[in-house]
Amino acid sequence: MTIERLHTNQRMSKIVKHNGTVYLCGQVGEGDTVAEQTESCLARVDALLAEAGSSREHILQAIVWLSDMADFAEMNAVWDAWSPEGHAPARACGEAKLAREALKVEVIVTAALA
């Protein structure tokens, strides 16, 4: 059994690859609005998936945390434009207190290797 960990420190790895599956640590974005943070966050997801040998078309599951569920529609507008037609993953979305007060969205992704 081979487990490959990339960008690892004592606390976490940004990417873990095992048995044809890619696991990303939670991604947050920059910006003042939910839309800006979601766009930035999903760009980071794209970059990490590409580095791991995968892509958004191969996402199996996504977990989205919002600091306020009132932002659900704004986040979804960005998500829907980003998510490839016919490749929607299993997805859950909930409200949570995020690591920093300025954060409005965090996305956790599991994907298959391309």
Residue 99: count other Cβ atoms within 10 Å of its Cβ: 10
Domain ranges (residues) in the chain:
3-112
Give residue-wise pLDDT tens across range 38-97: 999 999 999 999 999 999 999 999 999 999 999 999 999 999 999 999 999 999 999 999
- The 10s digit of each residue's pLDDT in 96-107 is 999 999 999 999
| Distance in Å from the first CA to the final CA of the chain | 19
**Between 3.40.630.20, 1.10.3720.10, 3.30.1330.40, 3.40.190.10, what CATH number should domain 3-112 receive?**
3.30.1330.40
| Strands annotated E in the chain | 3-8, 13-18, 21-24, 27-28, 59-66, 90-95, 105-112
Whether the model clears a pTM of 0.85, i.e. scores above it, the answer is yes
**Token pair belonging to 15:** 């990417």
The token duo for 13 is 């790895």
| Beta strand pairing call for 59-66 and 90-95 | parallel
